[in-house]
Amino acid sequence: MLIGSPGTALAAYGPPTPTPPVAIPGGYYCIVTSQTAGPAGKATGPLSFQRLVVRLGVSKGTFPVQVQITVTEPYGQNGNCQGAPDIGNGGRHGFLAFAGVGILVQVGGLAYRGKFLKPLILRLTSKLITSSTVIVVWHVNRFVKAPHAVVHRGSATVAAVANSDFAVLNPVGKPHSPATTSALYLATGSSLPGLGVRAPARPHAPGARGA
């Protein structure tokens, strides 16, 4: 089942936050959906983010056992869930982030370690995506350009080979929502915490099917 959340999650990394009410996985704070998938694979979406529509594909044979896949974003409908600093340029001069997607896979309540047997495919759709858009992924202690990302006007495809946090960047001068650009989270590194949490569904974002 699809579940969304404007609520709070505990960051997987970064400076400690003031006594969060519950511990939720994901480097980004807000849960969009949390679903199970097994050896048969799974297709999930469309998932509605503030400035993005996301579809997630899990190929057959990606996981030999049943897993829990949690998709998160770094901010909620009314800004960052924990009020953390923004991603800004994601370490790339002349760019600015307008969206982010986090992927966390768990087995038995613990984060899946290492690479997946096959990559998870994220298909991103947004009017803000152009041929100049860059997709970056958090690696060790900084954002790096996501390998094998394919970007076209209005859409992009990126592969997640392990638990990952992605950010979507545009060159400075492209249109950005102040609420969006000020609410993206700058990750600074630490280990992933435990169990996922379900939350009430929220309506489609602008540009999503049925909006």
List, in order, residues 6 or more apart from 90 with CB less than 8 Å away: 97, 136, 143, 167, 169
pLDDT of residue 30: 84
Query: How many Å apart are CA 180 and CA 13, to the nearest integer?
Result: 20
Q: How many Cβ atoms are within 10 Å of 89's Cβ, its own excluded?
A: 16
Instruction: Flag whether 4 is in a domain.
Output: no
User: How open is the CA angle 17-197-69, to the nearest 5 degrees?
Assistant: 105
Tally of structural domains, the chain:
1
Query: What pLDDT score does 11 carry?
Result: 36
153 domain-assigned: yes
Output the six-digit token pair for 19: 């006594």
What number of other Cβ atoms are within 10 A of residue 147's Cβ?
10
pLDDT along the chain (211 residues), means of 10: 32 34 57 94 92 96 95 73 70 92 93 94 97 94 93 97 94 57 38 38 44 36
* pLDDT given at position 27: 64
What are the DSSP calls for 9-57, one per residue?
Answer: ---SSSS--S--SS---SSSSEEEEEEEE-TT-EEEEEEE-SS-EEEEE
Domain membership of residue 205 (yes or no) is no
Range of the domain at 52: 41-65+75-100+112-181
Can you tell me the distance from the alpha carbon of 195 to that of 106, in angstroms, rounded to the nearest whole number?
8
Task: Please give the pLDDT value at position 8.
Answer: 31
Q: What pLDDT is stored for residue 189 in this prediction?
A: 36
